[in-house]
Amino acid sequence: MAYKSKGLNYVYNTIAEKIGSTKPVKIKVNNSLLYFDIDNPCLVPATRAMQALPVMIVLHGGPGYDQSPYRTFFNDLHDCVQVIYIDIHGNGRSDPGNESEWNFERWTSDLNEFCQLLNIEKPIIFGHSFGAMVAMEFAAKYSNKLSKLILCTPMPKFDEALSAEKFLERGGEKAKQTFLNFIADPITDKENYSTYCSPYYGVTPIDEKAIFYDRLILKMDILLYFFKTILPQYDFINSDKTIKAPTLIISGEQDPIATIEMNHLLADKLGDACVKHYIIPDAGHNILWEKNELVLSAMRQFIDI
């Protein structure tokens, strides 16, 4: 549902930065400032009245990334959803926090409080990569707080050996060994990972510099902490967590990190909640930019159900 008047007034009265200033708009959530942006109106003219579009909250990948790579992707959905972007705590323009705050408990709590403060009821939650992991955890913990869930290249379970074999298939022994070295010691091997593994996140070449790095606020400390401390132990598949919200899973068949095998297991775990598992061949982890028209078509069909 859309904002109620109280929620909208709250935004304009309590944001940390004044709207219209050169500084980004932030809101205080769990005693930290969270950066967010709203892409398009919620209320749009219909034949005889104003029609409220559903709200879709976009959770970016990473961690250590921000919302900038996603800002042009969802323009084609403006007629069916209002899009709200958030820089997750510790990322982008939000407060950096520290290692004790970089966890799913904090990130899901932030999202819940954010929706409460803005009076957003049952939004659609979209997450890509790391953002899909946050979205999964949110849907499991706050099952009655969302209407639908869209998981794009989620990582429901980290399988080091499986991903190593995927990198071997895509990039040879050098890519495989670099991946294993990076997981063992992300800080020491981060440059090699960018050189020998990152190119195999996709299948179709894309201009990563223009899409990501020219505009991206990169927070390397949280990225390295996540890969070293959180990701190796992550296992949603074998947990007792459940998701009740209608869910769309979008997977790249050639994804070496959020592997198709793990995505199949997630779809099986969700059972009837998984309305559709959409698998795109010849696509990897960068599926949003490799196969944007196919992804948008799948999302639109799911939103319109």
pLDDT in tens, 104-157: 999 999 999 999 999 999 999 999 999 999 999 999 999 999 999 999 999 999
Phi-psi region of 145 (alpha: psi -120 to 50; beta: other; left: phi over 0): alpha
Please tell me the least confidently modeled range out of 83-97, 160-174, 204-218: 204-218
Torsion of CA 162, 167, 168, 174, to 10 degrees: -130
Q: How many CA atoms lie within 13 A of 131 on its CB side?
A: 26
Token pair 């961690």: residue: 63
Contacts with 131 (C-beta within 8 Å, 6 or more apart), sequence order: 58, 59, 60, 61, 62, 88
CATH architecture for the domain at 5-157+227-303:
3-Layer(aba) Sandwich (3.40)
**Residue 22 has what pLDDT?**
57
Spatial distance between the Cα atoms of 218 and 92, rounded to a whole number of angstroms: 7
In the chain, where the domains are located: 5-157+227-303, 158-202
